[in-house]
Amino acid sequence: MEGARNETSRPNFRPIGRRAAILAGALLVTWPALYNHYPLLYPDSMSYLEDGRPVARALFLHRFSADYGGRSFIYCLGILPMHWNVTPWPIVACNALLTGYVLWLVVRSILLRQTITCYLVLVVLLSLLTSLSWFASLIMPDILGPLLYLCIYLLVFARETLSRAEHLTLIPVAWWAVASHVTHLMLAAGMCVLLGLLLVLRRKSMHHLLRPTTELAMIVVAAIAAHLALHAYLYGKPSLNGKRLPFVMARVIADGPGRWYLEQHCGEDVKLAVCAHVEDLPVDTDDFFWAADGIWQTASEETRQQLRQEEIPFVLATLRAYPRQQLSASLANFWHQLMTFDLGLFEPNDWVLQVFDRVLPDERSSYLQSREAHDALPTTFFTSVQNLAVIASLVIIGVFTPRMWRRRPARLVGLSVVIVLAVIANAFVTGILSMVENRFQGRVIWLLPLLACVLVMDWRNGQNIQ
């Protein structure tokens, strides 16, 4: 009975009730911005808001610049029509509507009874107990990461629950999410590879996944092609990241092996740009990039380009010299990132205030009236709440996994696999290749409470049917 119930086709809902539920869900996830009296900002938010205009000028007016910033140009262009350097509120509205819509499709794909009630209960719990609403209220592409992974679940494992219009809507949403941040692209590509391996190893039992996996791969390829074409147009050379920061170089130096390699080889054997700083190498990646007297801030544009070019050869040389030490440090970073997801990132920042008049010239006074500007957001309290929610979710997932394994409902298993892989892979990629930061894991950790809630609601629906 349960297996048949979960594998039935998409149910019908009154359009008015469905739309009202989605709008209510979207409103619920904006409560941090409403409570703050302003969208939440992170230092990188200002770059995303600022960089869209010069890219648009180059694309549409052929007015080129020497530099367009280091953020995802596609995300910058995507949000530009929403804010026009006037107000960031429409971006929050977009985040909220996408979040409410994707969550509705996920809930509907699993829960066929009392779907609207379950959806609203789920959104309330996630909004109050996890980081979901905080990242939906943040001017960053971060919320698009977890929404992408849920889109992957819907497009691959729950395709039959989508109408044609819903299917066609999710494709551009997934493409924009993939293209909005290199981490999203890496995780989506990794999921394509894993699905491809499953198809090769279990061809007969997994043949129904061939078409959706191919579609997902095409979305990833289209995002890659868009980046390559856009950077080739702007800089005359195809690239995925443009003038990116050498994060991996900074990472291995901060970990220790990179520093040891430079200390032993800089001089006659090795002549790298970073060797000029061998006597004062930073022990933190933030210091490498953002310290006023750090390597990146004091470097000329020519030196920065040299650092980018030397990054991969330097990292490979370090790995050859200290493979065991770097592996140990990388695993420690991965574990630390997996456990780091507090809400401490929502705090005032001096640089944000410095560039406000340039990025949002008419909004400075509104921002200064916000709670974030006065460091008055209750992030410590909600971090504690989220920690308890995550622990409870892990317990619930552990309790319900044997039941799910016995029944093996395809969509619920697919959702579980996508969420667990996304949470682990996100910590792996960001912790090892970039830096350990609460924002990186905080943006996806709410997927675990989502899975726990869906498991409980699915069980309750089964109990009611029986």
Domain assignment of residue 425, yes or no: no
- Beta partners for residue 138, in sequence order: 40
**pLDDT score of 204:** 62
Compute φ and ψ for 368, nearest 5 degrees: -65, -20
Domain assignment of residue 197, yes or no: yes
**pLDDT score of 339:** 96
Contacts 24+ apart (CB under 8 A), 286-293: 286/435, 288/250, 288/253, 288/254, 289/245, 289/250
**pLDDT score of 4:** 39
CB 383 within 8 A of CB 438: no
Q: How confident is the model at residue 203 (pLDDT cuts 50, 70, 90)?
A: low
Contacts 24+ apart (CB under 8 A), 287-294: 288/250, 288/253, 288/254, 289/245, 289/250
Other residues' Cβ atoms within 10 Å of the Cβ of residue 203: 10
Domain assignment of residue 170, yes or no: yes
**pLDDT score of 13:** 61
Which 3 state secondary structure label does DSSP give 8? coil
Query: What is the number of structural domains in the chain?
Result: 1
pTM of the model: 0.92
Measured torsion, CA atoms of residues 263, 269, 274, 279, in degrees rounded to the nearest 10: 30
Residue 162 token pair: 């989508």
Q: What is the DSSP letter of 12?
A: P
Mean pLDDT, residues 111-132 taken together = 93
For residue 215, what are the domain limits? Answer: 2-238+345-376
pLDDT above 70 covers a percentage of the chain that reads 95
Position 97: which residue type?
L
**pLDDT score of 11:** 56
**pLDDT score of 126:** 97
Domain assignment of residue 6, yes or no: yes
Domain assignment of residue 352, yes or no: yes
What gap in Å lies between CA 177 and CA 158, rounded to an integer? 19
Q: What is the pLDDT of residues 269-319, one digit of tens each?
A: 778 889 888 888 888 888 888 888 889 888 888 898 899 889 999 999 999
Domain assignment of residue 205, yes or no: yes
Domain assignment of residue 107, yes or no: yes
Lowest mean pLDDT among 55-59, 111-115, 133-137, 277-281: 111-115
**pLDDT score of 122:** 96
Mean pLDDT, residues 101-107 taken together = 96
Q: What is the DSSP letter of 266?
A: B
pLDDT at 216 over 60: yes
Lowest mean pLDDT among 28-42, 172-186, 452-466: 452-466
Domain assignment of residue 118, yes or no: yes
Q: What is the pLDDT of residues 9-26, one digit of tens each?
A: 455 567 788 889 999 999
Other residues' Cβ atoms within 10 Å of the Cβ of residue 237: 9
